[in-house]
Structure 1
Amino acid sequence: MTAAVPVRRAVLRSRASWLLFPAAAVLLVFFCYPLAVILLRSFSEPAFGLSNYVSVLGDEVQIRVVLRTLRTALIITVATLVVAYPYAYAMSRVGRRARGLLTLLVLMPFWTSVMARNFAWYVLEQRGGVLEKLFDAIGIHGVSLLGSVTGVTVAMVQVMLPFMVLPLQNTMRGIDRSLLHAAGSLGARGPVAFVRVYLPLSMPGVLAGVSVVFIMSLGFYITPALLGTPQQALAAQVIGTRVNDLLDFAGAGALGAVLLVLTLIVLAVLSRLAAPLGTSTAGGADRG
């Protein structure tokens, strides 16, 4: 009987692994295969080699576009985290009805068309719009967000907010609040207990939200195209121009590959910086 248990578990695990096949097949067909084709064309057209990557990395304009895209995505991620963290914290503290209302509010962008949201921001940010009148009322004159990176950033923060709030709220709901009371009884009260105990425990949600928002912000096309300008174009706009207007699929693939590599590097650095910080802080709280 005891010898048959491991065999039975192995059979169950092998059967369960087949449940991954549909998702793996969809991922291979609709993500890995197109990505492999794009990368192959970036190396093989017009001739096999690194000419497309030399063109991208040697072009000052495209380097500036990539850096602007990374900077904008980072600003959007930080701004979204600043707004979403207290909102998710409030969701984790209130009752069921209030939490449902807060969840409803944060999910409302999902129920609105992307074009409708962007045109709404277009109306708000245009010359003589609501935001300019609001700035004039508080004594700040001549502010026009339309056609600027700032205007694009503000609109994208609103779109990205649910992708930051939901992972944070899910993590915060699992935090045992008695740990804060225990920290308070040991002398770590108020902000100290929050920084030493609560913040490290919420780091998994922070990292999940930051990763999703950062990656998605790098590939936004409609919002920068409608609210920005060609002079302040992001990488997705340049890739779209190369594909639609210039029919330069290889050059567009090379630019996309460079952006993908930089994204992976940034995420790896952020993960390495966040992991020891969360571990050491949590360990210190446990020792205290």
Structure 2
Amino acid sequence: MTISIASPSDSHERSEQRLMLLLLAPALLVVGALLIVPLGWLAWQSIWQDGGFTIVNYQRFLTDSVYWMTFLQTFRIAFVVTLATVLLGYPVAYVAAGLPQRWSMIVLALVLLPFWTSVLVRAYAWLILLQRTGIVNSALKSAGLIDSPLLLVNNEFGTVLATIHILLPFMVLPLYATMKKIPQELVMAGSSLGGSPLHVFLRVFLPLSLPGMIAGMVLVFVLTLGFYITPELLGGGRTYMVSMLVSRNIQVYNEWGAASSISVVLMICVFLVFKLASLLIPFERIIGTR
């Protein structure tokens, strides 16, 4: 019979863990009160109606085409916005990471400049720019490029364009942070071994920057799924996203159960997005802890 005796180091480690848990207790209580409890109430509202359990709110996803068509449109817009921010944000982050520190800060300051104004103000700014009598149409007409105003708002185009502008910093910042950590010695080694700049970029730099890219893609995609003000102002009723469906169920129909079920399904979709991202690259690399 073997008797195991805990070493002093094990006892000290358990003591530190208990102390850490004690210190985290207030924060955990706040998270539970402000996040877990509302989510639990949301899930309960979706299955409890008229004093009993029901799945009618979830059956609408199979019987009402408005529900799944809205989800399809929302995910399509989120995919387009994410792809566009990658194409626009990667070169900006690449240039900023390669510049001297002073110039990098200037580039990042220009990227972060939109954060100084609210989303509502930026949405209205795009509305003024893109409307039929706006600056863009007026400039194109004055230059003789168009005869009649282009329909740039009250549709999906205006919504996507404004959303890309608003969320672009969420793509640039993770990319920049990851690129700055890439050792330049690896790039120099690839060049010294005879690799062309394109070959070194594709085989060395791009794979090492993937964690930042995926982190930015997840951020942009998830944030786009919950956008409300931008599609409401620039969509003109023709671009209908999930957040607007939730709002209509509460404001117009006073259907809290239906709105809760939509929110629960959207939350599950967000968890699936995070799960898919963690399958592509370990979650620790995405958040930068490893």
Structure 2 counterpart of 1:180, from 182, 187, 194 = 187
Tell me the CA shift for residue 255 of structure 1. 1.4
Q: Distance in 2 between matches of 1:171 and 1:224?
A: 31
Tell me the CA shift for residue 38 of structure 1. 0.9
Structure 1 counterpart of 2:171, from 154, 164, 170 = 164
SS at match of 1:230: coil
Aligned residues: 275
Structure 2 counterpart of 1:96, from 95, 101, 104 = 101
2:248 alignment counterpart: 241
Q: Which amino acid aligns with 2:34?
A: F
Consecutive unaligned residues of structure 1, counting only runs of 5 or more, are 280-288
Tell me the CA shift for residue 271 of structure 1. 4.1
Change (3 A) 1:16 1:225: same
Q: Which amino acid aligns with 2:204?
A: V
For 1:181-196, list aligned pairs within 5 A. Answer: 181-196=188-203
Q: Distance in 2 between matches of 1:85 and 1:226?
A: 29
Structure 2 counterpart of 1:13, from 5, 10, 17 = 17
What is the TM-score when the length of structure 2 is the normalising length?
0.87
Q: Which amino acid aligns with 2:195?
A: A
Tell me the CA shift for residue 142 of structure 1. 4.0
For 1:226-265, list aligned pairs within 5 A. Answer: 226-265=233-272
Tell me the CA shift for residue 139 of structure 1. 3.0
SS at match of 1:85: helix
Tell me the CA shift for residue 252 of structure 1. 0.6
The structure that is helix-richer by fraction is: 1
Consecutive unaligned residues of structure 2, counting only runs of 5 or more, are 1-5, 286-290
Q: Distance in 2 between matches of 1:200 and 1:20?
A: 36
CA contact (8 A) 2:211 2:281 kept: no
Change (3 A) 1:57 1:88: same
Q: Distance in 2 between matches of 1:174 and 1:97?
A: 17
Structure 2 counterpart of 1:111, from 116, 119, 125 = 116
2:29 alignment counterpart: 25
SS at match of 1:144: coil
Deviations along 1:36-58, one digit per CA (max 9) or x if unpaired, are 11111101124412111002331
CA contact (8 A) 2:132 2:149 kept: no
What is the TM-score when the length of structure 1 is the normalising length?
0.88
Q: Which amino acid aligns with 1:132?
A: N
For 1:58-69, list aligned pairs within 5 A. Answer: 58-69=63-74
SS at match of 1:231: coil
Q: Distance in 1 between matches of 2:199 and 2:182?
A: 17
Q: Distance in 2 between matches of 1:118 and 1:231?
A: 16
CA contact (8 A) 2:133 2:149 kept: no
Alignment RMSD, CA only? Answer: 2.2
SS at match of 1:202: helix
Structure 2 counterpart of 1:130, from 129, 135, 141 = 135
Identity of aligned residues (%): 33
Tell me the CA shift for residue 86 of structure 1. 1.1
Structure 2 counterpart of 1:221, from 224, 228, 231 = 228
Tell me the CA shift for residue 134 of structure 1. 4.5
1:78 aligns with 2:56: no
Change (3 A) 1:243 1:180: same
Q: Which amino acid aligns with 2:137?
A: E
Change (3 A) 1:20 1:87: farther
Higher mean alpha-carbon deviation, 262-271 vs 238-247, is at 262-271
